[in-house]
Homo-oligomer: A and B are copies of this chain.
Amino acid sequence: MKAFTIGVDYGTNSVRAVVIDCADGREVGAHVFNYPSGHQGILLDPSDHNLARQNPADYVQGLEETVVGALTAAEASGEFKRDAVIGIGVDTTGSTPIPVNGDCVPLGMTEAFKDNLNAQAWLWKDHTAADEANTITKLGFEHRPHFLAKCGETYSSEWFWSKIWHCLNVDKPVFDAAHSWLECADYVPAVLAGITNPAEVVRGVCAAGHKALYCDEWGGLPDKEFLTMLDPALADLRDRLFEKAYDGATPAGGLCTAWASKLGLSEGIPITVGAIDAHLGAVGAGVQPGVLVKIMGTSTCDCTVAPNSETLKDIPGICGIVDGSILPGHFGLEAGQSAVGDIFKWFVETVCQGDDALHMALTNEAARQKPGQSGLLALDWNNGNRCLLVDPKLTGLLLGQTLYTTQAEIYRALIEATAFGARAIIERYKEYGVPVDRIICCGGIAEKNPMLMQIYADVTGCKMQVSASDQTCALGSALSAAVIAGPEKGGYGSFVEAQQHMTGVKDVEYTPDAVHQAAYDELYTLYMNVHDAFGGVTDAADLSGVMKALISLKDRQNS
């Protein structure tokens, strides 16, 4: 009998559910639900543009609507029945912590707090906790440097402890009313499993490790002594959080009676431990040792895995290294660039006042240029630098302009800048013993822009492939569910085995061109020179030859 799993993927503006055939990863039904609250699903505060919250009720409503919708669509295909569903996987944005009461109900869904923004889900891109993040970084640097070493040396305002502490600082009633806090990735599986006691919620190591400073090495969450330095109330809260977090090999529970009935699925089928979307996206794209998965959109998230061994050192400037966060038995490594597609969009739409047609025209024109032919060099920091410098207070830079520099040349230079940023991350991985031989990309840019893909191949020296699925996060969740369900139910005995059957890449692939690589090696050296100078890696930079070196390469490429 055929077996199917469901993947539920919570994004920033909507949630999507898919029904996946375990045999080959094919999607047989899907449904999307746009969060109804706020602006495009986000609760905003006009007086504070850093604030971004979500209504947790939207998550619950979206869960039912999308799963039912996807099942209905699958049934319409004629080859699917609901009793063939053997498990459900969930991925969400993160860190998106939610304050809950003692019954595991989000405070934002209670009468007392339903209109209080601080009682809702604190969406990943909420930046209200910048001060708290700075203090955590400062105190971490002084007292617990090993905490920071695992998360790129800087604790972010987007993460768990910053947000909870900020809540304590600005809205003590909400903090006091919160019996515990759940990551969205842990909350949704708990809903499906019918768990009503926060202490019984199975917490995923992905969000815990990457966002909450959780590590088995130092006994789980940060110790009370450290938390007391932040605020004694946080040390108290630690007792009501969790002792242990789990990787994807552990189920979060079985589907509860109520939700089995709502969805028309078998009671008790396993629910996966939830994980952050990009990480399960990497699974759905086929991540394995030596393979970097790049999820390319407005920004990028770069995930890879390394065998779980004692030899892996901390890697400075990499956002996170967490045992089991992507694949059980492997360290999950997450890096990323804070702006990629957003930079091209800014240039075309804001600087050139153009639209998609201009994107296309500039792409075509830029595709005819050789590496270095424009004499331009850019830094890809229009939205700060997430890795390796981990510094939001950096900005873009373009140099090499003459009186003849064209739009298409600048467009290409900006693409190249993001490729150099990608290479910087890859080189750092390699330097610390994590191999990267091949890159699998997901996202619209990868599918729509062969020029960009070839530039990335030439700059990084890696073969570039495109994930076969365009919904790798949802697929990764469904795949995870197939592993949790196990081979006896029609699933798989391991992630590797499941990936072999359920994931793939498109036929087209991009291999490095040796001649282009040589030119890009020159440009990359100049990029890193400027990168280190403005990024604060050095306070004695020699940039005196940069412009001349660019002109020299330009002259050679034009001759």
Contacts and interface: CB of A to CB of B under 8 A. Distances in A.
Interface in A105-164: none
A550 interface: yes
A401 B375 contact: no
Contacts of A1: none
B534 A399 contact: yes
A548 interface: yes
A547 interface: yes
Given A541-B533, A541-B540, A403 B547 contact: no
Interface in A325-368: 339, 342-343, 345-346, 350-353
A353 B410 CA distance: 14
Interface stretch (A29-37, A390-398, A488-496): A390-398
A444 interface: no
B395 A398 contact: no
Interface in A253-309: none
Given A539-B542, A542-B539, A547 B352 contact: no
Contacts of A395: 375, 399-402, 547, 550-551
Contacts of A551: 393, 395
A406 interface: yes
A401 B399 contact: no
Contacts of A400: 395-397
A312 interface: no
B403 A343 contact: yes
Interface in A527-557: 533-548, 550-551
A383 interface: yes
A551 B398 CA distance: 17
B375 A402 contact: no
A343 B403 CA distance: 6
Contacts of A14: none
A544 B548 contact: no
Contact of A396 (B346, B399, B538, B542): B399
Nearest to A298: B403
A212 to B, nearest CB: 28
A57 to B, nearest CB: 31
Nearest to A399: B397
Given A399-B534, A533-B543, A404 B548 contact: no
A480 to B, nearest CB: 34
Contacts of A351: 351-352, 405, 407, 410
A72 interface: no
A375 B395 CA distance: 9
A382 interface: yes
A545 B539 CA distance: 9
Contacts of A393: 547-548, 551
Contacts of A537: 544
6 contacts: A346-B405, A353-B407, A397-B398, A397-B401, A398-B398, A534-B544
Given A343-B403, A533-B543, A541-B542, 11 more contacts: A346-B401, A351-B407, A382-B403, A394-B547, A395-B400, A396-B405, A397-B400, A397-B401, A399-B534, A534-B546, A534-B547
